[in-house]
Amino acid sequence: MLDDRYARQIILPEIGEIGQQKLKECSIVVIGAGGLGSPALLYLAAAGIGNITIVDGDLVESSNLHRQVLYNESDIGTKKAETAAKKLKEINSQIEIKFISEFLNEENAKEIVQNHDILIDGSDNIPTRYILDDICKEIGIPWVHASIHRFEGQIACFNISNGPGYRDLFPDSASAESVPNCAEAGVLGVLPGIIGTIQATQALKICLGIGNDLRGKILLVDTKTMNFRTMVYEKERRITTKEKPKNISPREVKALIDDGWEPFIIDCRSQKEYQIAKLKNVDLFVNHTQIESVINKIPKDKDLLVYCHHGTRSMYTISYLYNNGFRGENLFNLAGGIDSWALSVDSSIRRY
């Protein structure tokens, strides 16, 4: 029968019968049952997490199937949260699974998140992440964040034992709407599977109290180069808004440069992207995963303008600089990246 369902897990000395009981008593809410949520949910259910809540207001679409492995062709048009719950129940009938076919927002966040031990973010939505950070701090539970972009992914754990949160990593939400999601930027189908399973791993470790979590760190995964790097950041210093890094639109940058502004410009994309298109007068080209290796080449007494393709990788670069001694008032993130620059300032720049 199913008495030996968790046998291979229980024989691990770090888990055992006591650890398996912890998993059974744990309650996890997963926000988003898409590319990240699908693999995370599969492994949480299989591992024996006793209570799982799935939150997603979307429907299954054909364009989801290459990466959202919970669903198949017959599920197209159905509610994701409800369909995911049915699939998980088939995997593990011994656990409690609830679903909420709504999108999380400021009004319903507290009601949805409260009474859970851990939250996993699969929202692919930056404004939602700020809501999650605020509500998890208020309630006092940790959450596991991830984001994906083309071939790259990032994972971090927030609010563990009053540790750093998402706002400590990204203090400014002003350009949230300018950062593209999977539908706009594209994503390798297997990438969310890799990143989502790492999220599940982090959640299981938090529940069990074993190993090293990603508190105060962000794991950067590049599946094109198979480069895995960890960047360290600290809890935000209590500072004024003036001193925080800023998001700045391409039109604002153009106006300032026309008026004599001479920032130190950093391009943090890949070499291939740099060869396709770039801004004029770039002072430093470095892949965002390698920023640590060139930090001594970056002046601390000048304004820094950092850009990438759509504004995601530059946000991480800005955060790393900010958490390593660079003044927030000198850090500027180009909102929307070079793609937004091509659309709103210089149409001669090649889009890709």
pLDDT tens per residue, range 50-61: 999 999 999 999
Same domain, 201 and 260: no
- pLDDT given at position 304: 97
Count of domains forming the chain: 2
Residue 336 domain-assigned (yes or no): yes
pLDDT at 177: 47
Task: Mark whether 197 and 258 lie in a shared domain.
Answer: no
Task: Using the 3D structure, point to which of 232, 257, 291 is the last residue of a domain.
Answer: 232
- Kindly give the pairing relationship between strand 96-100 and strand 51-55: parallel
pLDDT of residue 181: 54
Of 168-172, 233-237, 323-327, the poorest mean pLDDT is in 233-237
CATH number at residue 206: 3.40.50.720
| 81 plus 215 within the same structural domain | yes
Q: Which of 232, 255, 274 is the last residue of a domain?
A: 232
Residue 101 C-alpha from the chain's centroid? 22
**Under 8 Å between Cβ of 166 and 158:** yes
Say whether pLDDT at 22 is over 70. Answer: yes
Count of other CB atoms within 10 angstroms of residue 313: 26
Domain co-membership, 147 together with 265 = no
* pLDDT score for 173: 58
Q: CA 133 to CA 142: how far, in whole Å?
A: 9
Structural domain for 167, as ranges: 4-232
* Strand 284-285 with 246-248, pairing: unpaired
Is residue 1's pLDDT more than 50?
no
Q: Domain check: are 21 and 81 in the same one? A: yes
pLDDT at residue 174 tops 60: no
State the DSSP code for 133.
Answer: H
Q: For the chain, give the percent of residues with pLDDT over 90.
A: 70
CATH classification at residue 324 = 3.40.250.10
* Residue 350 maps to a domain: no
d(CA 166, CA 157): 9
Same domain for 292 and 198? no
- Whether 157 maps to a domain, the answer reads yes
pLDDT higher than 80, residue 38: yes
pLDDT confidence of residue 180: 53
- Mean pLDDT score, 136-160: 93
Q: How far apart are CA 67 and CA 64, in angstroms?
A: 6
The answer on pLDDT for 201 being more than 90 is yes
Q: Is the full-model pTM beyond 0.85? A: no
| Mean pLDDT score of the chain | 90
First to last CA, the chain: 54
Give CA angle at 336 (331, 342), nearest 5°.
115
Q: Please check the confidence at residue 214 and state whether its pLDDT lies above 70.
A: yes
The domain boundary, picked from 179, 202, 232, lies at: 232
Whole-number percent of the chain with pLDDT over 70? 92
Asked if residue 290 belongs to a domain, the reply is: yes
205/142 same-domain check: yes
Angle, vertex CA 132, rays to CA 194 and CA 109, nearest 5: 120
**What pLDDT, on the 0 to 100 scale, is given for residue 39?**
97
- 136 and 190 in a common domain: yes
Among the residue ranges 14-23, 132-141, 152-161, 314-323, the one predicted with the least confidence is 314-323
The answer to whether residues 217 and 287 belong to one domain is no
Q: Which residues of 112-124 are buried (b: 16+ CB within 10 A; e: fewer)?
A: bbeebbbbbbbbb
| Cβ-contact 75, 60 below 8 angstroms | yes
Tell me: pLDDT of 240 over 60: no
Three-state DSSP at 55 gives: strand
- Tell me if 241 is assigned to some domain: no
Q: Based on the fold, state whether residues 44 and 102 are members of the same structural domain.
A: yes
Q: How much is the pLDDT for 168? A: 82
Q: Is 289 inside any structural domain? A: yes
Answer yes or no: do 17 and 89 share one domain.
yes
Residues 157 and 256 in one domain: no
pLDDT per position as a tens digit, 75-109: 999 999 999 999 999 999 999 999 999 999 999 99
**Tokens for 157?**
């754990």
DSSP string, 180-211: --HHHH-B-TTHHHHHHHHHHHHHHHHHHT-S
At residue 184, the pLDDT reads 52
Residue 237 CB contacts under 8 Å (≥ 6 apart), including other chains: none
| Nearest by Cα to 267 from 278, 257, 276 | 278
Residue 150 lies in a domain: yes
Residue 72 has pLDDT above 90, yes or no: yes
